[in-house]
Amino acid sequence: MNFLPAHRLRLYRNFKALEVSDFHGIIRFYEQFEDGIRALDFEEYFDCTEAYTNALFQTGNHGKHVVMCDHLLEIIIMQNVETWGGEDLYAKTLFLKAASLYQMHEYPKAEHVLRELVKIYPADRLPCRFLEKCLLRQKPAWLMKTRAATVVIVLLTAAVIAGEIFIVQPFWPSRVKPVMVMHNVLLGLGILVFVAGVLFHALRCRHAAGSFARRMFRRKAGG
């Protein structure tokens, strides 16, 4: 049986003495004693590193968290760590990496990570829903064009209303009603274009995420 030297045992014991929810304390301790932590045996080092990586996410240090996720994933693969603390740490790390990328507005990168996660766990609905949310955040060119069209229609509506107030009402009062109908139609059209664009984008994202998950599920089921 291998025992840790006294100073390394003390270091690990002090780390474990920290409150699990003291995320800032965990970060400070790990970064202060990182060289000593790296000298620990694998299980102790991995335990500290996993706790540090989680603390980075919980405190919103998303840039550092993504870097540590890559390091953690490399260790998990190289050391064949299937579970840790009773949970699938590989899936958890991938999911939280995607969450950090999402918070950093790195939506294409988050999408890539989520697609990899769905490939491995196609029956898990949570990554699929997160993938859908990530796709929603990415605005395709056609959606931006519908929004531009909405702005143009609203500006045109405003111009018609201004013409009604300053020109039609004083000089052609008999034409007020047709002009009112015109600006109401334009306003309705603008709202319709905007809502239709947003709704169609949402439906496309849901279909894309769902069909990808189903395709991966069939592929995995087929061996």
The three-state DSSP-derived secondary structure of 4-37 is: CCHHHHHHHHHHHCCCCCCHHHHHHHHHHCHHHH
Higher pLDDT, 167 or 18: 18
Long-range contacts of 120-126 (CB under 8 A, 24+ apart): 120/91, 121/91, 122/213, 122/214, 122/216, 122/217, 122/219, 122/220, 123/217, 124/91, 126/95
Q: What is the mean pLDDT of residues 190-200?
A: 89
Higher pLDDT, 219 or 59: 59
As a whole number of angstroms, the distance between CA 85 and CA 43 comes to 12
High-pLDDT (> 70) share of the chain, %: 93
Characterize 94-115 residue by residue with b for buried, 16 or more Cβ atoms within 10 angstroms of its Cβ, and e for exposed. bbbbbbbbbeeebbebbbebbb
Specify the pTM: 0.85
Torsion, CA 110, CA 113, CA 117, CA 119, rounded to 10: 110
| Region for 86 from its dihedrals, namely left if φ exceeds 0, alpha if ψ lies in -120 to 50, beta otherwise | left
High-pLDDT (> 90) share of the chain, %: 57
Segment among 68-82, 170-184, 193-207 with least mean pLDDT = 170-184
Using pLDDT thresholds of 50, 70 and 90, give the confidence band for residue 168.
Answer: low
Query: Could you tell me which residues are beta bridge partners of residue 87?
Result: 84
Q: What is the mean pLDDT of residues 115-120?
A: 94
pLDDT in tens, 27-58: 999 999 999 999 898 999 999 999 999 999 99
| CA–CA distances in Å: residue 134 to residues 64, 125, 158 | 21, 14, 35
Check pLDDT > 90 for residue 208.
yes
Q: What's the whole-number average pLDDT of the chain?
A: 88
Check pLDDT > 90 for residue 142.
no
Q: For the chain, what are the domain ranges?
A: 6-104, 141-221
Check pLDDT > 60 for residue 182.
yes
As a whole number of angstroms, the distance between CA 179 and CA 171 comes to 13
Q: What is the DSSP string of 92-129?
A: HHHHHHHHHHHHTT-HHHHHHHHHHHHHH-TT-HHHHH
